[in-house]
Each structure stands twice: as C-alpha cells, then as structure tokens.
C-alpha cells in the first residue's frame, strides 16, 4: 500500500491556528460560540480548536462531543430507541461550530445537524473539518477547511491524532 504524508504536526498546528482565527473573524468575536466535536476523531480536533481560540481570546470556550452513529441514514435502528449518551451543552441561541476530521459524502454532517437540532435551537451552525476529500452526496459544505484533498473514492485518508495515535499527521493511502 502506497502512503504519502500530506500534513505533519506543524501543518496541522498551522491549520488549527488559521481555522481558529477564521472562526473568530467570521463571527466577529466568540460570543455565544460553542465547539462540538463529532466522535471519534472530530473530538481531538475540536479540543485543539477550542484551546487555540481560548488562547487567542483569553476565554474558556464551551466544547462538547457527539456520537451520531444512530442518526446516520444508513443505520437502520430507530434513533429514538437509542440512549442519548448525554450531550450536555446548551445550544439554544448559540453559534455551534461542528468539527470533524474528514468531510466526504456529507452524510455524517447531515446526521449531526439532526442531532443538534433535536437538542435545542442554535442561532447558527457552522462546520469545520481538517480534510475535505470531496465526493459529496448532499448539499453540504464546510465553512472552515484545513486542507482540500481531491481523492478517488478508493483512496483513504488516514488522520492521526496524538490522543489516539503516535503523532499528529494526515496520510493518504491508496
């Protein structure tokens, strides 16, 4: 299997820093912003962004996590049978910045939007991803993108975060 590293630790840090500044700039500050990471690898990225915005603005930004497995349209269980794992952020009237590692067909984000809206009525929802690999099947786009990586459907983007893996890196495998 051929592998190419397309982002290393430094590149990921730079992308996180840029995205954090973009979030602050686009929202004209960070009032009412909460960061929500999508399980699993949206979580370390959400933490990195929340921490960076916290450093820049000298605040403690609310940061939550969701597991939307049950909300995907390719999961056949009735989502109302699924126990809520305890999403404890109050998103009512907030600007929610959803965070995931890779954006592909858009189905995960569609499910995440359903989940969030079932748990309150945010003022605004935005999306940040580390990698946009294309191949959308729904009219969904990211507001903040670490790197656009045109891929074939067969390619796989491996995203490593220190929390789970040995290093922070992004690798394309064919």
101 binds ligand 5GP per the rule CB under 6 A: yes
Q: How far apart are CA 137 and CA 47, in angstroms?
A: 28
Which ranges in 38-134 belong to alpha helices (H)?
42-57, 107-118
Q: Binding marks (x or -) toward ligand 5GP, 115..154, rule CB under 6 A?
A: ------------------x---------------------
Rounded least distance, CB 120 to ligand 5GP, Å: 22
- Our CB check for ligand 5GP shows the closer of 41 and 94 to be 41
* 159 near ligand 5GP, rule: CB under 6 A: yes
Residues 27-66 touching ligand 5GP, rule: CB under 6 A, are 38, 41
5 contacts 166 by C-beta, under 8 angstroms: no
Judging by beta carbons within 10 Å of its beta carbon (0-12, 13-18, 19+), is residue 52 exposed, middle or buried? buried
- Check residue 107 for interaction with ligand 5GP (CB under 6 A): yes
Does 100 interact with ligand 5GP (rule: CB under 6 A)?
yes
Q: Is the dihedral of CA 48, 50, 51, 52 positive or negative?
A: positive
The C-alpha atoms of residue 2 and residue 53 are separated, in whole angstroms, by 36
Paired with 5 in beta bridges are 171
Number of residues counted as binding ligand 5GP (CB under 6 A): 16
The answer to whether 105 contacts ligand 5GP (rule: CB under 6 A) is yes
- The site for ligand 5GP (CB under 6 A) is made up of 38, 41, 100-108, 133, 156-159
């Amino acid at each position: 299997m051929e592998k190419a590293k397309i982002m290393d630790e430094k590149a990921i840090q730079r992308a996180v820093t840029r995205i954090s500044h973009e979030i602050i700039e686009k929202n004209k500050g960070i009032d009412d912003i909460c960061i929500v990471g999508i399980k699993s690898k949206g979580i370390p990225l959400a933490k990195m962004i929340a921490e960076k915005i916290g450093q820049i603005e000298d605040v403690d930004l609310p940061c939550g996590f969701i597991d939307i497995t049950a909300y995907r349209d390719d999961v056949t269980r009735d989502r109302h049978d699924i126990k809520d794992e305890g999403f404890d952020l109050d998103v009512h009237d907030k600007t929610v910045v959803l965070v995931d590692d890779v954006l592909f067909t858009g189905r995960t984000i569609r499910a995440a939007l359903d989940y969030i809206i079932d748990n309150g009525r945010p003022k605004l929802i935005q999306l940040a991803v580390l990698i946009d690999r294309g191949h959308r099947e729904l009219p969904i786009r990211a507001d903040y993108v670490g790197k656009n990586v045109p891929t074939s459907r067969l390619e796989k983007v491996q995203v490593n975060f220190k929390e789970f893996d040995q290093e922070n890196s992004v690798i394309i495998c064919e």
